[in-house]
């Protein structure tokens, strides 16, 4: 990842799955490198972790799990108005997450320029 080889152990038959997960992490990391540059392995991995956690939170909300994002989901059999309101809440949560990620990215990029 990020030009460094890492040997990761896994169970028999899980090699392809782990390789695919690594490819996903690498893809996100390279996107970040394109946006903020080489700001250090730890910072990049922290940002990747936040992005993946955000995706997991959104997926959990879509599946009806608990959490802040799940509160945006309408109940089964909801009216069109309830669905529209839930979509508005979900959009607001996504915008909030995007703002937080953008602020973190800016802060990390700024911190990386400090001696």
Whose tokens are 């955000």? That residue is 54
What is the pTM for the complete model shown?
0.54
CB atoms within 10 A of CB 29: 19
Contact indicator for 28, 48 with CB cutoff of 8 Å:
yes
Whose tokens are 């973190």? That residue is 104
For every one of its 115 residues, what pLDDT tens digit does the chain have, with 9 covering 90 and above?
888 888 888 889 999 999 999 999 999 999 999 999 999 888 888 889 888 888 888 888 877 655 554 555 556 677 877 777 877 787 777 777 777 777 777 766 666 666 6
């Amino acid at each position: 990842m990020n030009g460094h080889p890492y040997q990761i152990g896994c169970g028999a038959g899980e090699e392809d799955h782990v390789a695919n997960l690594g490819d996903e992490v690498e893809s996100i990391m390279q996107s970040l490198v394109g946006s903020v540059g080489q700001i250090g392995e730890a910072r990049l991995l922290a940002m990747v972790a936040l992005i993946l956690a955000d995706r997991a939170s959104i997926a959990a909300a879509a599946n009806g799990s608990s959490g802040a994002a799940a509160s945006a989901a309408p109940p089964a059999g909801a009216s069109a108005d309830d669905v529209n309101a839930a979509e508005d809440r979900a959009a607001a949560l996504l915008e909030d997450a995007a703002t937080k990620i953008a602020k973190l990215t800016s802060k990390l990029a700024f911190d990386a320029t400090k001696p």
